[in-house]
Structure 1
Amino acid sequence: MKRVKWQPSRFGAVDLADQVGREFNLPLDRLSEKFSFEAATKIARENRSLMYGRRAERMFEYVVASLGKADLITAEDASAPLYAGIEVQAPDYFVSLKTGQKFFVEVKNTEPKTIHTPVTFGNAYLSRLKHYAKLKGHPLLIAVYWNDLRTWTINKVEDFETKNGTIILRFVDAYQRSIAGDFGDRMVATIPPLVCRIHAASDRPSSLQKNDQASFTISALSFYIENKEILNEREQQIAFYLMFHSAWEDEMPIATMDGERVAYVEIAARQAGDKSLDQAFESLGTLAGMISSYYKWLTTTDDEVVRLTPQLEPAELAPGFDDAYRGEVLRLWQFQIEPNYEPLIRG
């Protein structure tokens, strides 16, 4: 997807000034009496909850664009709408899918203490969102990024609204009825382990210290799966992406020596948990989860959000494979995620 060209440094600044002027009832040439852009930004950056929440909103846009099923995404809450009658609130996004489906989406970020810790919507809050969606004629969805689980769920409001007009959304229920598959999300799997071999330059100093720290200059990376080297350049790029951004965990690096020199160090990645399971492949996680991992890596430094959006375009965050992918060595299984409307799982 391509972003419409816009110059925030030219138009965004005066639009912000106009809105701040209305808030403080000041003309544009007197805003500095009440407002400092630098101070306001500093206060926002120091609010961890605010920064992570706003970042998740921006991340949703990039994730949906990267999944490839949308033909239009707009920030619906970019301005304050005028309304008559019942109070309204614009949801975060309007999304038009290539299937013809159109939705409003409210986005939330959460770090639940357990998988049963809910995300809640109060009656007044939900009512404002629903009335806005009703007036504009498209269904309202709730998208939640479950941070520690590296998973997105996207749910229809009517599946979870209670009789008193509230929503209590737990991960186990949200995941069961998620329609993220309609947006292009899917589960990806391959044969474990995926191995990255980091080669030491033969013409530079190389050694293994007493504290098991290897000291060498990297000359090349190579990747292996099913005891075969991945030679195709595209598959190498996908393997690199999966090593960093899938849900698999890296095992302890193992150094291979050439006399007193480090020849290479191997890092194997596989699914956490029981390694004795008798199955051909293991889940790498969801595609949306991998894109989100890359997005967070691009916008975080020392566990602090330093950007809300990365400099890259959405297509550059995708892992490089689609529904038609057929690997020469790196085999992938891709599973469409469908909602289950059996009675909800309760914990």
Structure 2
Amino acid sequence: MKRVKRNPEKFEVIDLFTALGREHGYKLSVEEDANDFVERIGSSLKASRDNPNLLHGKRVESLFAHVAGGLGNCRLIKQEDSGEIFTDEQDIQAPDYKVILNNGSQYFIEVKNCHFPNIKSPYPFKKDYLRKIENYSDLHDTPLLFAIYFSRQNKWFLLRKESLIEQKNRYVTDFINAMAQNEMSLLGDRTIGTEPKLSIELLADRSQESNVNKKGEASFIIGDVKVYSSDREITDDLEKSVAFYLMRFGTWVESEAEGMFDDDGFLGARFSYEPELPPEEQIFSMIGELSSMISISYGEQTLYEKSVVALDTNLDPEVFAVEIPEGYKGKELPLWQFMMQPNPKFRG
């Protein structure tokens, strides 16, 4: 999936001038109005940069489009809450996105970022706020879903209003309830399992000089890269790509780099990845959800030391994802794919 190219510098600046002009009486021909516009934009940008809650919320909103696009079950993802709305309806608000799935189903999706430290803390939705978004969805006869990103746990959940817990002036959910009623499978999300351990070997080019100093630091030129699943070498290009992606963005723990030697000297370095708790009753372990892995990959472009450095990127969703065909079981890299289904009767 690729982003449709636009020209924001040409069109969106004049649109913003027009929007602010309605509030402040700007005229295109008045130089003082143009100067006031630039000054207001600068002040607003500075205030936004100093508001971490706003930055994290807007980043997660942009992240969702890349997650949905990278999961592979959407034909179209469109930002819905932009542009002017004219209506004679009362209490109406556009949700963040409209998505069209591969089977033609359409949904409006409102994106939320939850950064609560306690997974039992209720995440609230005020009733008057929900009513506005529902009114908009009802006008379009399109179902409404809520995508909540629990950022501390790096987990995405997709919920219907019916899965929320009603209270006096609000609806709430929490991590456990959201997990039980999660419908991210609609977008193509899957939990991936494979057989431990995964390893990657960076092999030195033996025709070039290499050395290891007294501190154990190796200096060498990489001549070859080999990837292993449970000590089986992976030679298939697709499976090598999948294994590398799982090692980079999955939940398994990286062991300390191991030097490799033979009688002729330094061979290279090996990095291994294993689950914190090895499997006991089956040969595979879960390594994470695709949505969580995409989120980590996207974070490499938009976060630095937990601070937001960019809200979005010019890269397409496919850059942050990996292609694992649905139902693919692997050859040299055995894979288990789970599409979790919601339990609408759950109340934690």
Tell me whether the two structures share a fold, i.e. TM-score over 0.5: yes
In 2, the alpha carbon distance for the partners of 1:236 and 1:89 equals 46
Equivalences, count: 343
Letter of the structure 1 residue corresponding to residue 321 of structure 2: A
- Tell me if structure 1 keeps the 8 A contact 2:210–2:218: no
**Shift in Å, 1:165:** 4.9
Q: Which residue of 1 aligns with 2:209?
A: 204
In 2, the alpha carbon distance for the partners of 1:23 and 1:296 equals 36
Q: Which residue of 1 aligns with 2:310?
A: 307
- Say if 1:86 and 1:34 are closer, same or farther in 2 by CA, change over 3 A: same
Pick from 252, 260, 284 the counterpart of residue 248 of structure 1. Answer: 252
Q: Which residue of 2 aligns with 1:158?
A: 162
Q: Which residue of 2 aligns with 1:225?
A: 229
Pick from 82, 89, 93 the counterpart of residue 78 of structure 1. Answer: 82
**Shift in Å, 1:27:** 2.6
2:152 match: secondary structure: helix
Equivalent residues in 2 for 1:27-176, closer than 5 Å? 27-28=27-28, 29=31, 30-36=33-39, 37-176=41-180
In 1, the alpha carbon distance for the partners of 2:35 and 2:338 equals 55
Q: Which residue of 2 aligns with 1:18?
A: 18
Alignment of 1:343 onto 2:346: yes
2:278 match: secondary structure: coil
1:220 match: secondary structure: strand
- Say if 1:178 and 1:256 are closer, same or farther in 2 by CA, change over 3 A: same
2:310 match: secondary structure: coil
1:149 match: secondary structure: coil
Letter of the structure 2 residue corresponding to residue 159 of structure 1: S
- Tell me if structure 1 keeps the 8 A contact 2:194–2:287: yes
- Tell me if structure 2 keeps the 8 A contact 1:24–1:34: no
Pick from 285, 289, 295 the counterpart of residue 286 of structure 1. Answer: 289
In 1, the alpha carbon distance for the partners of 2:72 and 2:203 equals 36
- Say if 1:80 and 1:118 are closer, same or farther in 2 by CA, change over 3 A: farther
**Shift in Å, 1:103:** 1.4
- Say if 1:338 and 1:72 are closer, same or farther in 2 by CA, change over 3 A: same
**Shift in Å, 1:308:** 2.2
In percent, how many aligned pairs have the same letter?
A: 30
Q: Which residue of 2 aligns with 1:7?
A: 7
RMSD over aligned CA atoms reads: 2.2
In 2, the alpha carbon distance for the partners of 1:159 and 1:15 equals 39
Alignment of 1:325 onto 2:328: yes
In 1, the alpha carbon distance for the partners of 2:156 and 2:325 equals 19
- Tell me if structure 2 keeps the 8 A contact 1:20–1:31: no
In 1, the alpha carbon distance for the partners of 2:263 and 2:21 equals 71
- Say if 1:259 and 1:148 are closer, same or farther in 2 by CA, change over 3 A: farther
In 2, the alpha carbon distance for the partners of 1:161 and 1:94 equals 24
**Shift in Å, 1:209:** 3.5
- Say if 1:39 and 1:196 are closer, same or farther in 2 by CA, change over 3 A: farther
Q: Which residues of structure 1 form unaligned runs of 5+?
A: none
In 2, the alpha carbon distance for the partners of 1:259 and 1:286 equals 43
**Shift in Å, 1:6:** 1.8
Alignment of 1:236 onto 2:240: yes
- Say if 1:328 and 1:160 are closer, same or farther in 2 by CA, change over 3 A: same
In 2, the alpha carbon distance for the partners of 1:260 and 1:18 equals 72
**Shift in Å, 1:43:** 3.2
In 2, the alpha carbon distance for the partners of 1:88 and 1:298 equals 34
Alignment of 1:188 onto 2:189: no
Letter of the structure 1 residue corresponding to residue 214 of structure 2: Q
Letter of the structure 2 residue corresponding to residue 225 of structure 1: S
- Tell me if structure 2 keeps the 8 A contact 1:21–1:31: no
- Say if 1:220 and 1:111 are closer, same or farther in 2 by CA, change over 3 A: farther
In 2, the alpha carbon distance for the partners of 1:300 and 1:261 equals 40
